Chains A and B, each alone.
Chain A
Amino acid sequence: MPRLDETTQNEKVTAEASAAEVDGAIGGLDALDAPTSGPQRSRARRISAALLPPIGAAVLFVVVWQAVWATAWLPEHQLPSPSTVFDVFWGLVETGQVWEFLWTSVHRAVIGFVIALGIATPLGLLLARVKLVRAAIGPLVSGLQSLPSVAWVPAAVIWFGLTDTTIYMVVLLGAVPSIANGLVAGIDQIPPILPRVGKVMGAGTLANARHILLPAALPGYLAGMKQGWAFSWRSLMAAELIASSPELGDGLGQFLHNGMSLFDMPMVITGILLILIVGVGIELVVFAPLEKVTLNARGLRKS
């Protein structure tokens, strides 16, 4: 065993480890300390784990529905059988009418959402970064979120009549507050050290917003966008349902409205199902992947 005091003769060498020693030690430490990713499940198993539970739940729902229908507890015109509804649904698909309804409603919702995004983004930035703006209209913007946008329909009809403008107005009033609030929450959650780092690197106000604030706020912004989409879609349905007129074309809301006028329950249920499918579909196809990529890149989510 080497005696410790021997090394004091050669203090220079022991005190400052040689470059090669440090090199090796640092490499070893990196290998030991770096977080390891857990074992990956196979692709097929991940997909089945994601798909099977919701499919099972849907099947169970239809089975219960069929069983309740079979007891004839409610009259047929109030509770039709699953197969009657499916026939109406399939009829729409076969005649191609369903695409007309979907196109009319979805393109309105998308246009409304994009306009809402364009208004809400600068509004959110102002609310988050300018104290006076936040003090003045912050409570109003948060409050608007709890006001059902269907409450705007009568006012919009009086202002703009039964036109597309009325519908977009209602969609905007539904979506803008959600998106703006999401962006504000995202910016509020940024650790203060990050903009400081930008400042010491010489970033001006604009460069700081572009390179640091906006990317750092992205998770909150995306959550706001997701909620904003849901609000656009449901506001649109409320508007179409109430402000229904021939000039406005046939959207899903009108289809539902017609079903009610005709006292046709299978048609009403089909309308509800279509609205649900679009809402869930856009969420799964557009927002879920965006959110996954954003959160994974930041290590905020175990995939």
Chain B
Amino acid sequence: MAVALEKPVETDVAVRLADLHKVFGTGRQAVVALDGIDLAVRPGEFVCLVGASGCGKTTLLNLIAGLEQPTSGKITLTTSRPAVMFQEHALMPWLTVQRNIELPLRLAGVGRAERAAKVEELLSLVRLEGTGRKRPHELSGGMRQRVALARSLASAIQGSADGKHALMLMDEPFSALDAITRDLLQAELLRVWRATGTAVVFVTHDVREAVRLGQRVVLLSSRPGRVVDQWDVDGLTGSDELAAVDTIAAKLREVISSHAAA
């Protein structure tokens, strides 16, 4: 597939988080959002972070994306600049679908002809052929989120042109969509992920979604955010998949209940 990454250099870790701490505020009002997170993501791996509200999932993504700085600890990225997809589509309302998708390429100084070719490929990858000239407000919620996916892919692939691995950070990208659309977009995301081989760190509060999409599910506790447990859920189907959802959901309930007592 033409969109697939060019031969990446072989490294066994795409992202490594070592003893990561993040504290907001100072003194008595200080809130510990992340407390000693250790996590490694392999190139091309699909990792889902699950946790209740306030577990610092979004903070963790922001740290990896470079939008915020950790209080202490170390983030090592062997990938190119991570692409980020948010819960809102965050498309530029004044740009057409095509211009939205090529925006990261324009910012990186890619030439016009090359941009147009890339956008064509990406549009067909997310099955939006023929909508390149429309504006975001003319699309449905699911279509907008696929445009946002295509834009993140453009950003990820642009960075990986020099042979580095690609990384996508996704912050509950489907949680604002209706159930039918969400179901279809999850299938779409898996297909696109397999086609491009990018590593994905996917944040969600939906255990079922995490088990369906991820190869590995990481459960975070809330305030302070710590890694409680992780499960290998790669290739689980049928009753195994349901059992995994039950196990993880039970653990999540246990973590949440501990807050009621405190």
Contact of B143 with A218 in the complex, beta carbons under 8 Å: no
B65: which A residues are within 8 A, CB to CB?
Answer: 200
B141: which A residues are within 8 A, CB to CB?
Answer: 33
Residues of B within 8 A of A (CB): 65-67, 81-84, 86, 88, 90, 92-95, 103-104, 106-108, 127-128, 135-143, 155, 180-181, 184, 187-188, 190-191, 237-238, 241
Contact of B238 with A8 in the complex, beta carbons under 8 Å: yes
Contact of A19 with B191 in the complex, beta carbons under 8 Å: yes
Contact of A16 with B67 in the complex, beta carbons under 8 Å: no
A34 and B94 in contact, given A201-B155, A203-B107, A211-B107 (Cβ under 8 angstroms): no
For A203, the closest partner residue in chain B by CB is B107
The 3 closest A-B pairs by CB, nearest first: A299-B137, A33-B140, A11-B238
Within 8 A of B (CB), among A174-198: 191, 193-194, 196-198
Give 18 A-B pairs besides A34-B140, A34-B143 with Cβ atoms closer than 8 angstroms. A12-B237, A15-B241, A16-B187, A17-B187, A26-B188, A29-B142, A30-B128, A30-B140, A191-B90, A197-B84, A202-B81, A202-B107, A211-B103, A211-B106, A212-B92, A215-B95, A216-B92, A300-B93
The CA of A22 and the CA of B65, in the complex, are separated in Å by 31
A197 and B86 in contact, given A27-B127, A202-B107 (Cβ under 8 angstroms): yes
User: A246 on the interface (CB 8 Å rule)?
Assistant: no
User: A62 on the interface (CB 8 Å rule)?
Assistant: no
Contact of B92 with A201 in the complex, beta carbons under 8 Å: no
19 A-B residue pairs with Cβ-Cβ distance under 8 Å, sorted by A, are A11-B237, A15-B241, A22-B188, A29-B181, A30-B143, A32-B140, A34-B138, A34-B143, A191-B90, A193-B86, A200-B84, A201-B104, A202-B107, A203-B107, A212-B92, A215-B94, A216-B93, A298-B135, A299-B135
Contact of A299 with B93 in the complex, beta carbons under 8 Å: yes
Contact of A193 with B88 in the complex, beta carbons under 8 Å: yes
User: A292 on the interface (CB 8 Å rule)?
Assistant: no
Contact of A297 with B106 in the complex, beta carbons under 8 Å: no
Contact of B191 with A22 in the complex, beta carbons under 8 Å: yes
User: A207 on the interface (CB 8 Å rule)?
Assistant: yes
Distance to closest chain A CB from B136 (angstroms): 7
For B180, the closest partner residue in chain A by CB is A29
Q: Which of B66, B88, B140, B155 contacts A29 (CB 8 A)?
A: B140
Contact of A202 with B108 in the complex, beta carbons under 8 Å: yes
Within 8 A of B (CB), among A201-249: 201-203, 207, 211-212, 215-216, 218
Contact of B67 with A299 in the complex, beta carbons under 8 Å: no
For A35, the closest partner residue in chain B by CB is B138
The CA of A238 and the CA of B72, in the complex, are separated in Å by 63
A202 and B104 in contact, given A22-B184, A35-B140, A297-B94 (Cβ under 8 angstroms): yes
User: A129 on the interface (CB 8 Å rule)?
Assistant: no
The CA of A216 and the CA of B94, in the complex, are separated in Å by 7
Question: What 1/0 flags go to A1-25 for Cβ under 8 Å of B?
Answer: 0000000100110011101001101
Contact of B184 with A194 in the complex, beta carbons under 8 Å: no
Contact of A25 with B237 in the complex, beta carbons under 8 Å: no
Q: Which of B66, B92, B181, B187 contacts A215 (CB 8 A)?
A: B92
B180: which A residues are within 8 A, CB to CB?
Answer: 29
Contact of B143 with A200 in the complex, beta carbons under 8 Å: no
A29: which B residues are within 8 A, CB to CB?
Answer: 140, 142, 180-181, 184
A299: which B residues are within 8 A, CB to CB?
Answer: 93, 135-138
The CA of A298 and the CA of B138, in the complex, are separated in Å by 10
Contact of B92 with A193 in the complex, beta carbons under 8 Å: no
Contact of B184 with A33 in the complex, beta carbons under 8 Å: no
The CA of A35 and the CA of B142, in the complex, are separated in Å by 12
For B236, the closest partner residue in chain A by CB is A15
Q: Which of A193, A207, A218 contacts B90 (CB 8 A)?
A: A193
Distance to closest chain B CB from A290 (angstroms): 13
Distance to closest chain B CB from A94 (angstroms): 47
Contact of B67 with A298 in the complex, beta carbons under 8 Å: no
B104: which A residues are within 8 A, CB to CB?
Answer: 201-202
Distance to closest chain A CB from B2 (angstroms): 17
Contact of A298 with B137 in the complex, beta carbons under 8 Å: yes
Distance to closest chain A CB from B248 (angstroms): 17
Most B-side CB within 10 Å, residue of A12, A26, A215, A297: A26
Question: What 1/0 flags go to A274-298 for Cβ under 8 Å of B?
Answer: 0000000000000000000010011
Distance to closest chain B CB from A151 (angstroms): 39
Within 8 A of B (CB), among A138-174: none
Contact of B143 with A33 in the complex, beta carbons under 8 Å: yes
The CA of A218 and the CA of B94, in the complex, are separated in Å by 10
For B87, the closest partner residue in chain A by CB is A193
Q: Which of A26, A34, A194 contacts B127 (CB 8 A)?
A: A26
Distance to closest chain A CB from B103 (angstroms): 7
Contact of B138 with A201 in the complex, beta carbons under 8 Å: no
B94: which A residues are within 8 A, CB to CB?
Answer: 215-216, 218, 294, 297-298
The CA of A298 and the CA of B127, in the complex, are separated in Å by 23
Contact of A15 with B127 in the complex, beta carbons under 8 Å: no
For B187, the closest partner residue in chain A by CB is A22
Q: Which of B81, B90, B137, B140 contacts A194 (CB 8 A)?
A: B90
For B181, the closest partner residue in chain A by CB is A29
The CA of A29 and the CA of B82, in the complex, are separated in Å by 30
B238: which A residues are within 8 A, CB to CB?
Answer: 8, 11, 15
